[in-house]
Amino acid sequence: MNIAVVGTGYVGLVTGVGLSEIGHNVICIDTDENKVQKMKEGKSPIYEPGLDELMVKNIEAGRLHFTTQHAEAFKEVDVIYIAVGTPENEDGTANLTYINQVAQQIAQIIKKDIVVVTKSTVPVGTNHYIKKKLKENVSSHLNVEVVSNPEFLREGSAVYDIFHGDRIVIGADNKKAGEIIRKVNEPFGIPIFETDIRSAEMIKYASNAFLATKISFINEIANICEKVGADVEEVAFGMGMDSRVGNQFLKAGIGYGGSCFPKDTKALKKIAENVEYDFSLLSAVIEFNNKQQRKLIDQALKDFSSLEGKTIGVLGLAFKPNTDDIREAASLAIIPELIKMGANVKAYDPVAIENAKKVLPEEVQYVGSALEAIEGTDLVFILTEWDEIKSLPLEIFAEKMKSAFVYDGRNCFSLKVVQEHEINYYSIGRRLSNKQDLIIESK
Any idea which residues carry the catalytic annotation?
A: 260
Contact 193, 219 (CB under 8 A): no
Q: Is residue 377 part of the contact set for ligand UGA (CB under 6 A)?
A: no
Q: Which of residues 212-251 bind ligand UGA (CB under 6 A)?
A: 215, 249-251
CA–CA distances in Å: residue 415 to residues 374, 424, 426: 20, 12, 10
Q: How far is the CB of 89 from ligand UGA (least distance, A)?
A: 18
Q: Is residue 70 part of the contact set for ligand UGA (CB under 6 A)?
A: no
Angle between helices 197-228 and 126-137 (to 10 degrees): 150
Q: What are phi and psi of 273, to 5 degrees?
A: -55, -40
CA distance 105 to 399: 61
Q: Which is nearer to ligand UGA, 65 or 327 (CB)?
A: 327
Q: Which is nearer to ligand UGA, 320 or 430 (CB)?
A: 320
Q: How far is the CB of 398 from ligand UGA (least distance, A)?
A: 27
Closest CA to 11 of 94, 114, 86: 86
Q: Which residues make Cβ contacts (< 8 Å) with residue 66, sequence separation at least 6? A: 8, 27, 28, 29, 30, 36, 39, 40
CA–CA distances in Å: residue 134 to residues 6, 33, 108, 138, 250: 16, 27, 9, 6, 43
Give the count of residues interacting with ligand UGA (CB under 6 A): 20
Residues 129-158 vs ligand UGA: string with x where CB under 6 A? ----------------------xxxxx---
Q: Is residue 12 part of the contact set for ligand UGA (CB under 6 A)?
A: no
Q: Which of residues 172-211 bind ligand UGA (CB under 6 A)?
A: 208, 211
Choosing from 24, 133, 295, 320, the residue that interacts with ligand UGA (CB under 6 A) is 320
Q: How far is the CB of 282 from ligand UGA (least distance, A)?
A: 15
Burial class (CB in 10 A: 0-12, 13-18, 19+), 34: exposed
Q: Which is nearer to ligand UGA, 59 or 215 (CB)?
A: 215
Q: Which is nearer to ligand UGA, 155 or 378 (CB)?
A: 155
Q: Which is nearer to ligand UGA, 160 or 277 (CB)?
A: 160
Q: Is residue 289 part of the contact set for ligand UGA (CB under 6 A)?
A: no
CA distance 383 to 377: 16
Closest CA to 296 of 281, 325, 316: 316
> Which residues make up the interface to ligand UGA (CB under 6 A)?
121, 151-155, 208, 211, 215, 249-251, 253, 256-258, 260-261, 319-320
